[in-house]
Amino acid sequence: AALSDADLHDWIATHVSFPNAMVDRITPMTSNAHRLQLHDQLGIDDAWPVVCEPFIQWVLEDKFSTGRPAWETVGVQMTDDVTPYEEMKIKLLNGSHLALTYLGFLKGYRFVHETMNDPLFVAYMRAYMDLDVTPQLAPVPGIDLTAYKDTLVQRFSNQAIADQLERVCSDGSSKFPKFTVPTINRLIADGRELKRAALVVAAWALYLKGVDENGQTYAIPDPRADYCQALVKDDPLIVQRLLGAEEIFGGAIAQSAEFVAAFEWCLNSLREVGVTATLEQLVQL
């Protein structure tokens, strides 16, 4: 505005605010079963009903120029800075989703709650959250991180919403840079154990092959599917090509000999003994 109208710029600076926000509620892809359920229970025909879980969280920065409604009276968390809440959600919820989803798909599961019915997946998710992610998080005002992580296990276990792994799997090439790579970079910088985090990437590498452990084939729901699948097409070059894709993994990961070794171990284990046996080894680290 300042470039075209100085008075407009001054008015905006005085009267308009742009508070940051963080929202969280799992909403699975709408299926025909949802449409039929809505019709049968309420007599409503809707081509695109939105299904969601009971949990809801809206965190909003209390930075308003001209006052605001009393949103805190209806459950909105008002804060001076949304950053720690966003970091918590991205690294714990979204990061754990990726940790589960590609392994689950390779195993033959197709819904998030199916992974939570498998004790090995739950143990792996908890270890990833507790040992790899939580030490990286700053304190979050008003949030007990232990209780929050327990809530994530409960939410992911919700069979009623039937959240599809395909939804969580989608757009992996754009999710990794936001949800997983920062965690890996911090683990590398701190000299921490890397195999649990490396398994997330190794599972994605094999998922991109388009066939699960049971021989079932599937499409890759990613706008860059062709590019991503080309990165894993030649097995001897997966490490070089996939980890070397800087637009996805940045530069530090491929340069870390320790991470490369952990990734190769996970990749070989998934190929040779499968998801279950690999998890059995990792949850004991």
DSSP 197-244: HHHHHHHHHHHTTTB-TTS-B-----TTHHHHHHHTSSGGGHHHHHHT
Q: Which whole number is the average pLDDT over 147-156?
A: 98
Residue 36 and residue 68: Cα distance in Å, rounded? 40
H/E element, 258: helix 257-272
Average pLDDT taken over every residue of the chain: 97
Q: Is residue 123 part of a domain?
A: yes
Q: Is residue 9 part of a domain?
A: no
How confident is the model at residue 285, as a pLDDT?
Answer: 86
How confident is the model at residue 161, as a pLDDT?
Answer: 92
pLDDT (tens digit per residue) in 186-241: 999 999 999 999 999 999 999 999 999 999 999 999 999 999 999 999 999 999 99
Return the DSSP state at 22.
E
Q: Is residue 204 part of a domain?
A: yes
Q: Is residue 152 part of a domain?
A: yes
How confident is the model at residue 108, as a pLDDT?
Answer: 98
Strands across the sheet containing 21-24: 21-24, 57-61, 77-79
Cα angle value 61/66/68 (rounded, 5°):
55
> Residue 17: pLDDT above 90?
yes
How confident is the model at residue 87, as a pLDDT?
Answer: 98
**Percent of the chain, pLDDT > 70?**
100
Exposed/middle/buried for 160, CB within 10 Å: 0-12, 13-18, 19+?
exposed
Q: Which whole number is the average pLDDT over 162-177?
A: 97
Q: Is residue 6 part of a domain?
A: no
Which CA distances in Å does 250 have to 10, 34, 165, 182?
40, 40, 26, 10
Q: Is residue 58 part of a domain?
A: no
Return the DSSP state at 137.
P
- Mark residue 6 as left, alpha or beta (left: phi above 0; alpha: psi -120 to 50; beta: remaining): alpha
Name, in order, each residue with C-beta under 8 angstroms of 14's C-beta and a sequence gap of 6 or more.
65
By the 8 A CB rule, do 49 and 36 touch? Answer: no
Domain span at residue 161?
83-282
Which tokens sit at 2? 């300042």
pLDDT band of residue 2 (cuts 50, 70, 90) is confident
Q: Is residue 75 part of a domain?
A: no
pLDDT (tens digit per residue) in 85-140: 999 999 999 999 999 999 999 999 999 999 999 999 999 999 999 999 999 999 99
How confident is the model at residue 190, as a pLDDT?
Answer: 98
Count of structural domains, the chain = 1
Q: Is residue 184 part of a domain?
A: yes
CATH number for position 261:
1.10.1040.10
